[in-house]
Amino acid sequence: MNFDMCATAIVTSRQKTLCCSVVQLLLFARQQHKALFTAFCLTVLEAAPFGRRELGVIGCDIYCNGRNKMVDLKTQKRLAASVMGCGKRKIWLDPNEMSEISNANSRQTIRKLVADGLIIKKPVTMHSRSRTRALADARRKGRHMGFGKRKGTADARMPSQVLWMRRLRVLRRLLVKYRASGKIDKHLYHELYHLSKGNTFKHKRALVEHIHKAKAEKARERQIKEEMDAKRAKTKAARERRQARVQEKRNALVADTPAE
């Protein structure tokens, strides 16, 4: 049966009796050609030269079967969401296979429909973060951070305790690194550890400068000590030589003196 020709006859005709007769001839075929009959009904309702109300009871039947008759598929959506592991709003049901989907009343049948492609899980909706990343980059540069953008006190926005912990951890991490590499000994490490805890160093650069000065001072003290030790040893050796010469002179004088 050619539904297109029947639809054209109804649309182009101005006689309501003829239209109703054609529709009556078509009604018996809607079970065998359900999809084509639905398309036919939609075509008639969109393009007919007279209103739906004028078709009478037959027109109402066409309208209900063609457009407004909705199948309740809440159960099928719930089962599909359970099978596919997503929400019910993510389930897509093929509108051309509503009758077959409506007959599915078990998870096994739903799985078969999913495998056949009649039920599909919608993809995750993309939510771009490009604008957020651009704003974060700008804020890292200091933009959008003026007085008008601030809520809360300075200590609430960045607690002083957090700043203190960050600074102290940086200093202690540097001390551990220097001790492990041999740049400082355990005695200097212990001293600087307590100085760091006592808020002596405001930042890492101050600690590094203090380490350089401490090492230079320690090297200078070592050099001075070595020089003093060398000078002391030299003085002691000269004194011993002088005492030896004096003793030799005394021995020689005693030897030259005649005995009485």
Per-residue model confidence as pLDDT tens digits over 73-128: 999 999 999 999 999 999 999 999 999 999 999 999 999 999 999 999 999 889 99
What averages of pLDDT result for each successive group of 10 residues across the chain (260 residues)?
51 49 49 54 52 43 47 93 96 94 95 96 93 98 96 96 98 98 96 97 96 94 94 94 91 77
* C-alpha span between 105 and 60 (Å, rounded): 30
In degrees, rounded to 5, the angle at the alpha carbon of residue 140 between the alpha carbons of residues 135 and 141 is: 100
Together in a domain, 15 and 30? yes
Helices (H) and strands (E) in the chain, counts: 12, 2
Buried b / exposed e over 138-151, threshold 16 CB at 10 Å, is: eeeeeeeeeeeeee
Residues 86, 54, single domain; the answer is no
pLDDT at 236: 94
90 and 37 together in one domain: no
Q: Is residue 166 part of a domain?
A: no
pLDDT at 255: 82
pLDDT of residue 71: 76
Neighbours of 84 (CB within 10 A): 16
- Residue type (1 letter), 156: A
CA distance 225 to 221: 6
Supply the CATH number for residue 100's domain: 1.10.1650.10
Domain boundary residue among 84, 100, 121? 121
The domain that contains 207 carries what CATH number?
1.10.1200.240
User: In the prediction, which pLDDT does 256 show?
Assistant: 79
Predicted confidence at residue 257, as pLDDT, reads 77
Number of domains in the chain: 3
What is the four-CA torsion angle of 112, 118, 121, 125, rounded to 10 degrees? 170
Co-location of 63 and 79 in the same domain: no
Q: Where in the sequence is the domain holding 90, given as residue range(s)?
A: 74-121
Is 156 part of any domain? no
On whether the pTM is more than 0.75, the answer is no
Residue 42 is predicted with a pLDDT of 53
How far apart (Å, rounded) are the C-alpha atoms in residues 28 and 159?
Answer: 80
Give the pLDDT of residue 64. Answer: 44
Note the Cα 153 to chain centre separation in Å. Answer: 28
Residue 55 belongs to some domain of the structure: yes
